Amino acid sequence: MVSILFLVVALFLLYAIIPSIAARWFGFGVFRKSRTRHEVAFTFDDGPDPIYTPQLLDLLKTYKIKAAFFVVGSKAERFPELILRMHQEGHLIGIHNYVHRSNWFLTPWTIRRHLDRSASFIENITGVRPVYYRPPWGLTNLFDFLLRQTFLIVLWSVMVGDWRSKGGSEAIKTRLLQKIQPGAVIVLHDSGETFGANRDAPLHTIQALDQVFPALLAKGYTCVRIDEMIPFQKPAIERKLSRKKRLLIYLWMQWEKAFHAVFHVRTIDRNNPFLNIRVCTYRGKTIQLTNGESIQKGDYVVELHFNNELLMQMATQARSSIHLAVQMIRATEQLLPQILEFIVHHPYRDKIKGLYGITMIYRGSRQLGFTVADLPKGLFSSCSKLYLRFLLYAVHPQGLQRLQTKTNLLIPKIIAISTNELMKRYPIDIQPKHSSQEMVFSSEHIFEGK
Task: List the catalytic residues.
Answer: 45, 189
Whether residue 287 contacts residue 414, with contact meaning beta carbons closer than 8 Å, is answered with: yes
Q: Using CA atoms, how far apart are residues 350 and 353, in angstroms rounded to an integer? A: 8
Single-letter amino acid, residue 103? N
| Helices 80-88 and 108-126: angle between axes, nearest 10 degrees | 70
Is the CB of residue 315 less than 8 Å from the CB of residue 396?
yes
Provide the pairing of β-strand 300-306 with 275-281. Answer: antiparallel
**How far is 417 from 370, CA to CA, in rounded Å?**
5
Nearest to 69 by CA among 129, 6, 134: 134
Instruction: Count other C-beta atoms under 10 Å from residue 441's C-beta.
Output: 15
- Name the CA radius of gyration of the chain, rounded: 24
Query: Given CA atoms 265, 270, 275, 279 in this order, what sign does their dihedral have?
Result: negative
Is it true that the peptide bond before 130 is cis, omega within 30 degrees of 0? no
Exposed / middle / buried, residue 130 (Cβ in 10 Å: 0-12, 13-18, 19+): buried
Q: In 10 A of CB 136, how many CB atoms? A: 20
